[in-house]
């Protein structure tokens, strides 16, 4: 299989195998008017298998979404076919409109124009809490 290099854009690498489609959908890459390559189950000496997403366009990606979905992934910024920056991701301290509060009594259930905001309260166990009602949302 041959996947061409990109001139200007991003490469999301070291994605845990099987998570590329979730990232593709959450970042809205399906609505982009550029080349997007989604490569699944690539052999990796470090990870065994991994996924990769290549976007042949100079776009900003929400690193909070990426860090929440797969904190071990990396984002490579490509300019003139050269990697000019490499960002390592980690769990974000705050999430806005990425996950929804499951508490039916939370104000976000009745006031739907309010943003769904969560703060990281336990990094080891990957627990986020709603800033309005403190309901826990544990990342699987």
CATH number for position 75: 3.30.70.140
Residues 75 and 99 in one domain: no
Residues 76 and 21 in one domain: yes
pLDDT in tens, 109-133: 889 899 999 999 999 999 999 999 9
Residues 21 and 71 in one domain: yes
Which of the residue ranges 37-41, 44-48, 129-133 would you say has the lowest mean pLDDT? 44-48
Residues 18 and 82 in one domain: yes
The token pair at 109 is: 């259930």
CATH of residue 122's domain is: 2.30.30.20
Residues 32 and 58 in one domain: yes
3 inside domain: no
CA-closest candidate to residue 90, choices 106, 67, 65, 118: 67
Cα 3 to Cα 16, 39, 53, 101, distances in angstroms:
19, 9, 11, 40
Mean pLDDT of 50-55: 93
pTM score, whole prediction? 0.80
Residues 14 and 81 in one domain: yes
Check residue 98 and give its pLDDT.
Answer: 87
pLDDT in tens, 60-69: 888 888 899 8
Q: Where are the alpha helices (DSSP H) in the chain?
A: 20-26, 63-69, 107-110
105 inside domain: yes
Which residue range is the domain that position 101 belongs to? 94-138
> Which helix (H) or strand (E) covers residue 121, if one does?
strand 117-122
Q: What is the DSSP string of 27-58?
A: TTGGG-SS-EEEEEEEEETTTEEEEEEEE-S-
């Amino acid at each position: 299989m041959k996947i061409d290099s990109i001139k200007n854009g991003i490469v999301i690498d070291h994605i845990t195998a099987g998570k590329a489609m979730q990232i593709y959908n959450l970042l809205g890459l399906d609505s982009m008017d550029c080349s997007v390559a989604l490569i699944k189950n690539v052999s990796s000496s470090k990870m065994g298998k991994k996924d990769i997403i290549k976007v042949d366009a100079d776009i900003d990606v929400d690193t909070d979404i990426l860090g929440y979905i797969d904190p071990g992934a990396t984002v490579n910024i490509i300019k003139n076919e050269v990697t000019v920056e490499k960002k390592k991701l980690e769990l974000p301290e705050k999430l806005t409109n990425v996950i929804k509060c499951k508490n039916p009594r939370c104000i976000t259930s009745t006031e739907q124009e309010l943003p769904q905001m969560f703060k990281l309260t336990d990094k080891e166990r990957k627990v986020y809490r709603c800033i309005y009602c403190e309901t826990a949302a544990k990342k699987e």
